[in-house]
Structure 1
């Protein structure tokens, strides 16, 4: 049996599901599946994503605290070497991103650059709702930051299909 590194979830996996696609009160099966996949280690995330989710102090925050394993959100501080590679790529990219785009992407509290770094260090696949926009200079999109490092980005549905999950 091949052991596959866990799928690494972006904050928008949770936030968009909660707000738009799979509300807790309407699609509880989705959230039960997320809990199961988290408990068996198929999905994980990082501390920066946790901060982005928990800053809202809403029902999603309460759900995550109540249903995700204590070790679900991994420490990203051990990925400084990889993070510096992401920073270098974003800063040196031609054509250049706008100053605002770089400031947002490289804010050390923002998750995207850390997700790429964590994946480089651990071989994960990122699950995000962001889509590639390589010509966009006003925002660094996670799939565009992942591509130069050979990192795969899946949507939620692509992940479920690859896992052969139905609910």
Structure 2
């Protein structure tokens, strides 16, 4: 079974909108359990996006203290896959230069998430939807489709895992 690779928006939106820590502690416990059983993971760049904020919050504290360090994997071994994605993005005439620059920012998790999934045969879990005609932003589904990387939603991931909480 493929591992599921969580985009930062899964954790951020869960924390802010859908599953706040004080109301749905079982959601956060479920993520820890799925991580410990090697079903889900994320990348170092996602942790950086969440934890390098000026005012630590419940989510950054959870990432630093509650989920095991092995959840956030190192992406340094994915430079070759990242290079392929960068070449694709820069050569793609559909997107504005600002969209390309934003997508390829050094610490932006999106291209590294795709690179890790490509190199390690993971399925990305994101709230981003495909928008193949958009010019101002490179969304995760478009490079995933180009490179044959699977992606899904968190609810579909839970269904595929046969898990509930």
**TM-score of the aligned structures, taking structure 1 as reference length:** 0.94
Which of the residues 29, 32, 36 maps onto 2:33? 36
For 2:133, what is the secondary structure of its paired residue? coil
Residue in structure 1 matched with residue 70 of structure 2 by the alignment: 71
Aligned residue pairs total: 163
Task: State whether residues 10 and 126 of structure 1, in contact with CA within 8 Å, keep that contact through their aligned partners in structure 2.
Answer: yes
Distance 1:22 1:121 in 2: 31
Q: What are the ranges of 5 or more consecutive residues in structure 1 without an aligned counterpart?
A: none
**Structure 1 residue 94 displacement after superposition:** 3.5
Residue in structure 2 matched with residue 160 of structure 1 by the alignment: 158
Paired residues for 1:14-163 under 5 Å = 14-56=11-53, 57-95=56-94, 97-163=95-161
Deviations 1:14-48 (A, max 9, x none): 00000001111111111111110011111111110
**Structure 1 residue 131 displacement after superposition:** 0.6
Q: How big is the alpha-carbon RMSD for the aligned residues of Structure 1 and Structure 2? A: 0.9
**TM-score of the aligned structures, taking structure 2 as reference length:** 0.95
Distance 1:39 1:165 in 2: 14
Task: State whether residues 5 and 122 of structure 1, in contact with CA within 8 Å, keep that contact through their aligned partners in structure 2.
Answer: no
Distance 2:143 2:151 in 1: 10
Distance 1:128 1:91 in 2: 23
Distance 1:43 1:36 in 2: 9
Q: What are the ranges of 5 or more consecutive residues in structure 2 without an aligned counterpart?
A: none
Single out whichever of 52-61 and 15-24 deviates more from structure 2.
52-61
Distance 2:133 2:93 in 1: 10
Structure 1 segments of 4+ aligned residues over 4 angstroms from their partners: none
